[in-house]
Structure 1
Amino acid sequence: MDMAVDLNEFKHPAWITALGTGAGYLLLLAVLTIALFVVPWLVFSALL
């Protein structure tokens, strides 16, 4: 069985929107993790 896959169907704007949403979510998650955990840890470490 040879199943040909047409990759052009993944060039639809909905896929670009989904990837952008995922990337934005990961970026926001990284920023919040740094702001809520890394920054307080650095401040606490500096005070000791």
Structure 2
Amino acid sequence: MANITEQFDHPAWLTAAGTLAGYGLILLFMFLLLFIVPYLLFPA
């Protein structure tokens, strides 16, 4: 098991995970702003 964790110990993996998390948060914010907020403001 220690062999697997050592394989992903490079700082590039942390950078990639941070980038994906950041993009995910931005996409979530945009989804809420563009779809959920108007749905709540203007109910059909």
TM band (smaller chain): 0.7 to 0.9
Unaligned runs of 5+ in 2: none
TM-score, length-scaled by structure 2 = 0.82
Any runs of at least 4 consecutive aligned residues in structure 1 with deviations exceeding 4 A, and if so which? none
Which residue does the alignment assign to 1:3?
Answer: none
Number of matched pairs = 42
Root mean square deviation, CA, Å:
1.6
Larger Rg: 1
Unaligned runs of 5+ in 1: 1-5
